[in-house]
Amino acid sequence: MDSQISPIALFNLVAVLSKAMDLVSPLVVDHHKRTAWFAVHLAEEMGLRGKWINEILFSALLHDIGAFSLQERLDTLQFEFENPHHHACLGYSLLKDVEFFSQEAKIILAHHTWWKPEHDNDVGGERVPLASHVLHLADRVAILLGEDGHVPDRIEEVLGPIKARKGTVFMPRAVDALLGAAHKEEFWLGAMQPDVEDQLRLKVDPRFLEMGPIDLEPVARTFARIIDYRSHFTATHSAAVAYIAEVLARYLGFSENNCKTMKVAGYLHDLGKIAIPTEILEKAGRLDTGEYHRVQDHVVHTRNLLEKVPELGYGIRWASEHHERLNGSGYPEHSEGGEIAFGSRVLAMADVFAAVTEDRPYRKGVDRAKALRLLGRLTKEGYLDSEIFQVVKDNFDELSRVRTTAQADSLEDHRSRMECFEEMQVEF
């Protein structure tokens, strides 16, 4: 597996995360892509090129990353709504320290800030980046347009509220760009086409994507934060699984590249949970049948999303099969025995090991003796792999130390980012 990540691969990863966020409700499906379409075309109409386009495109695909709950995502569908900066501040706190998303974080932070001539000017000003104003307008255009297929009949309905707020809510230069593009059918219809993601991919300019020789792990680690931090029940789970799975892979003789792939798969194994509303993930009582099946669906979402990033190699299958069980009792395919990849079995063991030994808000993790009894019973009953269980028995203390360290680091990261979020909220 090639550890280097290309600009197009980075776009694919961001598009996958964007898609995952939009699966939370049929009402927000493809909202990020449509916003990105309008944002990029507005930027081009304004004469922006190269690095500007990349930053605006990536920011648009991630702009609602801090809206964790279903209700907050639905609130953003209103043209005007209370506390629009809540999710913007949280999105900033999640991305601000990620080298290849640092500028996007600043754009997302201010993407609901109103135009104020005393602070801003046509090149963006000090307080609010120009790209934030472009994104703000594009987001609201996407909201006003909705999913109505008869776009030509609704253009004036979209333009009216925008023109009425020119120079007060929206940047005049951006509104002028919208009015200049409004007569072009492609500007409106292109946003509604099923190949909009492919068209956006063509807009990426690799000459201005200053990524350096990064690999998949830091990107996956960023995604894991977004997966886990949505719920205090599992705020450090993916980090624990990633580190445990990597160590298990080493003990089992995996190659160095495959160990790296295993760690990435661990970070991403619950990616599909982004499509599950936090209202379900944190439900205090027992899940009803529909809610339970929706939680199970996260594995299908994970597979469908990761298949769009072939650079993940074996990690796609390993992450997709981590809830399959050797006796056929797992999901979603009910695979059994040799149908399940060995790497998937490793990840399954890491997932269960982390789940039973880590503390959750509603219960304490079990001790060494209890954990081994439980894992031993699951192995004997055909849920988990016996060879991998033997490695766990022989190295339990090391695996426990790895889990504790990974989760302590992740918890500290979570704390610092939430502090940043609170500080940003006060500023706004």
Q: What's the CATH number where 12 sits?
A: 1.10.3210.10
User: What's the pLDDT at 126?
Assistant: 52
13-25 average pLDDT score: 88
* 122 and 234 both lie in a single domain: no
* 270 and 314 both lie in a single domain: yes
The owner of tokens 């809540």 is 86
pLDDT-based confidence at residue 124 (cuts at 50, 70, 90) = very low
* 159 and 229 both lie in a single domain: no
Q: Is residue 227 part of a domain?
A: yes
* 296 and 334 both lie in a single domain: yes
* 33 and 95 both lie in a single domain: yes
Name the phi and psi angles at 279, rounded to 5.
Answer: -60, -30
Q: Is residue 426 part of a domain?
A: no
User: What's the pLDDT at 97?
Assistant: 83
Residue 257: C-alpha distances to residues 33, 146, 176, 240 (Å): 33, 44, 51, 19
* 192 and 44 both lie in a single domain: yes
* 113 and 253 both lie in a single domain: no
End-of-domain residue from the set 185, 213, 241: 213
Does 1 score more than 60 pLDDT?
no
Q: Is residue 327 part of a domain?
A: yes
* 209 and 230 both lie in a single domain: no
- How do residues 32-91 score in pLDDT, each as one tens digit? 999 999 999 999 999 999 999 999 999 999 999 988 777 888 888 887 777 888 899 999
Does 340 score more than 90 pLDDT?
yes
* 241 and 382 both lie in a single domain: yes
Q: Is residue 259 part of a domain?
A: yes
Q: Is residue 66 part of a domain?
A: yes
Q: Is residue 427 part of a domain?
A: no
- 347's CB contacts (< 8 A; 6+ apart) are 241, 245, 262, 265, 266, 269, 318, 319, 321, 322
End-of-domain residue from the set 213, 239, 254: 213
- How do residues 383-416 score in pLDDT, each as one tens digit? 999 999 999 999 999 999 999 999 999 888 888 8
* 223 and 205 both lie in a single domain: no
Query: Over pLDDT 70: what percentage of the chain?
Result: 93
* 296 and 200 both lie in a single domain: no
How does DSSP assign 297-324, residue by residue? THHHHHHHHHTT-GGGTTHHHHHHTTT-
Does 190 score more than 50 pLDDT?
yes
Q: Is residue 368 part of a domain?
A: yes
* 222 and 205 both lie in a single domain: no
Q: Is residue 147 part of a domain?
A: yes
- How do residues 257-292 score in pLDDT, each as one tens digit? 999 999 999 999 999 998 888 888 888 788 899 999
Query: Over pLDDT 90: what percentage of the chain?
Result: 60
User: What's the pLDDT at 2?
Assistant: 40
Our count of domains for the chain comes to: 2
175-194 average pLDDT score: 94
pTM to 2 decimal places? 0.87
End-of-domain residue from the set 188, 213, 238: 213
User: What's the pLDDT at 122?
Assistant: 43
242-258 average pLDDT score: 97
Does 125 score more than 70 pLDDT?
no
User: What's the pLDDT at 7?
Assistant: 66
Does 228 score more than 90 pLDDT?
no
Boundaries of domain holding 62: 7-213
pLDDT-based confidence at residue 213 (cuts at 50, 70, 90) = low
